[in-house]
Structure 1
């Protein structure tokens, strides 16, 4: 099985989710450090759609200025534009497999995608 993780190596939860994926021999993992390789707006929209959540639900609030910028109440297009421009606003880790997409918080959520 293939899995792609949008990863931040400074995030403990992201590191733990990646470790779970890497420790399973049946998983071929692609790691995308999303702060360096920013996903496109269209890719983000597809990921959230496939996860069954809104972009607002994928918005990282802690450690960002999302609240001050009014993004908590903003429409999905505004949130996606902000995330594409400033990827720190993307909640992590996002994992995509053939079974679906999820924000893997806590990290054990990744097991549901395998």
Structure 2
């Protein structure tokens, strides 16, 4: 199975999710999204495939998202902010042939393996 993880190596949950993927035997593509953020189109597709809104994929902890009103903003405004400032993307996002999950907690990845 192939898997892609939008990963932040500084995040324990992201590292633990990556370890689960590697232990599963999946062929893993690791994208450090802070260095190579997904496009607006890709983010929209990931959230749609995960069955969540961009607002649900918004990182609130350690960001100014709430002060900027992003949790109440429309989808396109949230995605535009994430593309401009990838630290606003909650991590890790994982995509496999079985779907997409925002893997918080890390065990959510098991749903798509």
TM bucket normalised to smaller: over 0.9
**Over 4 Å off, 4+ runs:** none
Unaligned segments of structure 1, at least 5 residues = none
1:32-51 aligned at under 5 Å gives the runs 32-51=31-50
Q: Cα RMSD between the aligned structures?
A: 0.5
Which whole-Å deviations, capped at 9, do the CAs of 1:43-81 have from their partners, x for residues lacking one? 000000100111011000001000001101100010000
Output the CA distance in 1 between the equivalents of 2:53 and 2:34.
21
Output the CA distance in 1 between the equivalents of 2:58 and 2:8.
15
Aligned residues: 113
- The two structures have a TM-score, normalised by structure 1, of 0.98
2:80 match: 81
Output the CA distance in 2 between the equivalents of 1:100 and 1:12.
23
Unaligned segments of structure 2, at least 5 residues = none
Output the CA distance in 1 between the equivalents of 2:70 and 2:91.
17
- The two structures have a TM-score, normalised by structure 2, of 0.98
